[in-house]
Amino acid sequence: MSLRTLPPPPPPPHIRAWRNREALLDDRARALEQLAHWWLAPHRALLAWLLAAVLAVGWPVAVAGLAGIITGEGMDRVFGGIYFVMGLLLMVPSGIGLGFAVHRDLRVSARLNAWAELDRHPPTAAHWSFRGRTLFWLLPSVLLCAGSVALAGWTVYALVTSAPADLDRFGFPTVMGLLVVAGAVGAAGATKAAYHRRLIRRELGAGPVRAATGIAHG
């Protein structure tokens, strides 16, 4: 399902004309279910992780090539240039793919929030809560993010405590680049799952339901 086939944002307040609240709630529940189904699709998580993995593979290849260009001589520089180009060929398309994925996610999350803000109806929350899909996004993302932070801390500690003669000026940026990619992807996935759970908690929250606007009268 593409963005063009997903429910659009709700109409602006001045042109909303639902005949009653039940009609609004029906449209709202249908839109939230379709949007959340697309937003939390497991294949989207797998695609994001695959693109991140390709980007992570390209980074050390590019760094190794750059090291060959800077420190090598003769054919080492030639092979360094080849490795550098190979790394870029892996990194650039995967980075662009991740950028497009984030852009689409932001657009769909904006639609989700707009429909959720129209009203609140706890009985229909089960249709778009997708608890299993949320956990599928959340748990690996938290592990990936936490592992990256822990390894980054250990890497920085090893760097600080090492003798200057033992430092590898290309090894450190290679490792940190990999950890930044993993940590960013993990943080994005965890944020996405947490945001969806926040919408569900709001839907199920106690207190009076705000009156919906845009309902025709008379």
Q: How far apart (Å, rounded) are the C-alpha atoms in residues 94 and 96?
A: 5
Q: What's the CA dihedral at 52, 58, 62, 68 to 10 degrees?
A: 140
**68, 63, 90, 91: which is closest to 79 by C-alpha?**
68
Domain spans of the chain, in order of start: 16-204
Residue with tokens 């963005």: 3
The mean pLDDT of 186-202, rounded to a whole number, is: 95
Question: In this model, does residue 38 exceed pLDDT 80?
Answer: yes
Question: In this model, does residue 217 exceed pLDDT 50?
Answer: no
Tens digits of residue pLDDT in 73-131 = 888 899 999 999 999 999 999 999 999 999 999 999 999 999 999 999 999 999 999 99
Label each residue of the chain as H, E or C: CCHHHCCCCCCCHHHCCECCHHHHHHHHHHHHHHHHHHHCCHHHHHHHHHHHHHHHHHHHHHHHHHHHHHHCCCHHHHHHHHHHHHHHHHHHHHHHHHHHHHHHHHHHHHHHHHHHHHCCCHHHCHHHHCHHHHHHHHHHHHHHHHHHHHHHHHHHHHHHHCCHHHCCCCHHHHHHHHHHHHHHHHHHHHHHHHHHHHHHHHHHCCCCCCCCCCECCC
Residue 1: predicted pLDDT: 60
Which residues have CB under 8 Å from 119's CB, separation 6+?
21, 24, 25, 28, 209, 210, 212
Q: How far apart (Å, rounded) are the C-alpha atoms in residues 161 and 165?
A: 12
Tens digits of residue pLDDT in 151-172 = 988 888 887 787 655 556 678 8
The mean pLDDT of 12-17, rounded to a whole number, is: 81
Residue 164: predicted pLDDT: 58
Structure pTM?
A: 0.84
130, 36 contact by CB (below 8 A) = yes
Q: Angle at Cα 18 formed by Cα 16 and Cα 24, nearest 5°?
A: 105
Residue with tokens 């991740």: 98
Question: In this model, does residue 31 exceed pLDDT 60?
Answer: yes
Over the chain, what is the mean pLDDT? 88
Percent of the chain, pLDDT > 70? 90
Residue 45 tokens read as 């998580």
